[in-house]
Structure 1
Amino acid sequence: MLWLLASRAAAQPVQRQRVQPTDPVDLYWNGRHAREQAYYSVAPAGTPRGVLLLLPGLGGTAERVFKETTLAQEAARAGLLAVVPTLNNRLYLDSASTRLLELVLTQVARQYPAMGRNLCIGGFSAGGQLALAYAEALVRDSTRHKWRVKAVLGVDPPADLANLWHRGQRSIAQNCSSLLVRGGQSTLKTLGDAFGGSPEQFPAVYQQHSAFIDTSPNGGNLAWLAATPVRVYCEPDMAFWRWHFCATMQLEDLNAVTLRQLVACLQRQGNTRAEYLETTGKGRLNGRQFPHAWSIVDAPECVQWLQTCLNR
């Protein structure tokens, strides 16, 4: 009982810190465009032994991350500072989102100067794509950055943006659900406007911005994570998607195939700590079944894995 009480007391309340007084490039959307850039955090009782940076999905607010998963709270109990920035309006890592993450980590390091520079990065959906991409950038530029990426996790992320483009095309062609059609149209417009057109027209641009690209033997940017522990989570519940959204959907219309390929690509490069974790019946959103959700992660077990990565 004493251990349980101490464990519950170890995590502090969620705090909000402002990073920039304005958000001129619309990095964050919470029903309206944000007026400033910030981050939310949960600190451990003592000096943090590192940081767990968690990135929301597209349109998912930073505040809701603390309600949809207990990863932040579990991490704080384990001695990590859990940080969730106000970044939810990007499908790919651009200079503005990179700048925000750098500002957040700089401010965190200034607030906790005695903390080690151990960094774990995770994200949900589009945030998972950003998490993988940012980890790759930090490893690639390790001489410039002091942070040491100890582990990366993605919760059902669309890691291959070329694949995401083609899935958007299929959603429009299937024309089963207005929600999926609008999602496909939004994906094609966002990527087309940013990259100039389709993956066939601009393959190098898609490879440059994707955390993983299946058409490259070493996965493109993924090769930078060949020595880093990586986990990706997925719940490919085809029965759910076919019943609620589109009877003609195939497994290739979900993230599962790409994520299996991503892990296989890392393993071929000698990464023995790359894992694909597939769940069943764990996806919940607002109390209802939904397989694309933070809840597919077993938070206590995941934090145990993070601790193992920190200790190596």
Structure 2
Amino acid sequence: MKQTIIILFLVLAITACKDNTNQLQSPTQTPSDYQNIITTHYQLYKPTQKAKAVLILFGGFPEQADDIKKEFKILELAKKNNIAVLLSNYNQKLWLDTQDKQQLATLLQNAITDNQLPTDAIYIGGFSSGGVVSLLLSDFITASKQYNINPKGVFIVDSPIDLEALYKASQKNLARQFSEVSVEESTWIQNTLTEAFGPPETNLDNYQNNSVYTYSSNYTKNLQHLKDTKIRLYTEPDTLWWKTNRKADYDQMNAYYIKKLAEQLQAQQFKNVQYIPTKNKGYRSNGDRHPHSWSIIDVEDLVAWILND
């Protein structure tokens, strides 16, 4: 799984729609009184009794449900606390257009309704590009009257929230030519963003309209409907690791822009924004040290946050 200095988690575009006919496995009871429901779009783990809350998770590229389950060890604790967990197969998205948001919101609403899950205790979060999906989708759902699944909380894990910054960081990588992986991924980013939006120097509006946040202009309107929503912003700003392994400067890291976003939202009087920097917690499931990992989340603290109204 290749990494860039900021991420490059992109995704398998899927058609998000109600999917009862594509169910691959019927609900089966587990020893802990949970059902495991698998469809082409997600895996759902839900208690046989009424759930206290619903946690919806989005991975980064190329993560699907099984990958999230492997990298983010939260299922057992969620089961002990009667929390339903939906692991999404939706990925490959550094931004969402209106159709993406509508289809994905409809898919989630159908999943929650069909499985009789609570609609008043929904939490949405994601790693890397999955965090971008989580924030943009949560803002869209909260602003739309047609859905009844407004999230109570949303969180990101070291996500690339600023597309203009991502473009410029890739420019630095290409000029530096430090490693084959870095050059390959930065070339992809440059080509993808240029094709979609043009260069930011002459098309800043395109980047602002599609990013979670644009630091250069302090643009946060894509989160304006989340002022009353609990928000957590996780990141591990290990500048030494990024400098050693990617020759990356601090302003090329996701962590830099996540901190700036937290400051902006707090200044705009968002009610509950937590910036959570960690230290030496980032490790992949294979034991490799990497600050860009699911593992920077303290799962016990996250569950307490979900259950604390």
Shorter-chain TM range is 0.7 to 0.9
Matched residue SS, 1:41:
strand
Q: Equivalents in 2 of 1:72, 1:210: separation in Å?
A: 30
Matched residue SS, 1:148:
coil
Q: Partner residue of 1:306?
A: 306
Counterpart of 1:262, as a letter, is L
Match of 1:155 among 146, 157, 169: 157
The range that moved more, 112-121 or 147-156, is: 112-121
Q: Partner residue of 1:261?
A: 260
Q: Equivalents in 1 of 2:80, 2:271: separation in Å?
A: 28
1:212 touches 1:219 (CA, 8 Å); kept in 2? yes
Matched residue SS, 1:138:
helix
Q: Partner residue of 2:34?
A: 12
- Which string of whole-angstrom CA distances, capped at 9 and with x for unpartnered residues, describes residues 160-211 of structure 1? 111111111111111111111111111112222222x122222222111111
Unaligned runs of 5+ in 2: 1-29
Match of 2:59 among 56, 60, 79: 56
Report how far residue 122 of structure 1 moved: 0.2
Return closer, same or farther for 1:189/1:74 CA change in 2, 3 Å cut-off.
farther
- Which aligned segments of 4 or more residues in structure 1 are displaced greater than 4 angstroms? 8-11
User: What's the TM-score once normalised by structure 2's chain length?
Assistant: 0.83
**Greater RCO, 1 or 2 (C-alpha within 8 Å, sep 6+):** 2
> Among the aligned pairs, what percent are the same residue?
28
Q: Partner residue of 1:21?
A: none
Q: What is the total number of aligned residue pairs between the two structures?
A: 279
User: What's the TM-score once normalised by structure 1's chain length?
Assistant: 0.83
Matched, 1:106 2:109: yes
Unaligned runs of 5+ in 1: 1-7, 19-37
Return closer, same or farther for 1:217/1:292 CA change in 2, 3 Å cut-off.
closer
Q: Partner residue of 1:279?
A: 278
Q: Equivalents in 1 of 2:135, 2:34: separation in Å?
A: 28
Matched residue SS, 1:47:
coil
Q: Equivalents in 1 of 2:35, 2:243: separation in Å?
A: 41
Counterpart of 1:16, as a letter, is I
1:125 touches 1:156 (CA, 8 Å); kept in 2? yes
1:11 touches 1:77 (CA, 8 Å); kept in 2? no
Return closer, same or farther for 1:109/1:60 CA change in 2, 3 Å cut-off.
closer
Match of 1:187 among 186, 189, 192: 189
Q: Equivalents in 2 of 1:72, 1:188: separation in Å?
A: 37
1:159 touches 1:211 (CA, 8 Å); kept in 2? yes
Return closer, same or farther for 1:281/1:92 CA change in 2, 3 Å cut-off.
same
Match of 2:72 among 51, 64, 69: 69
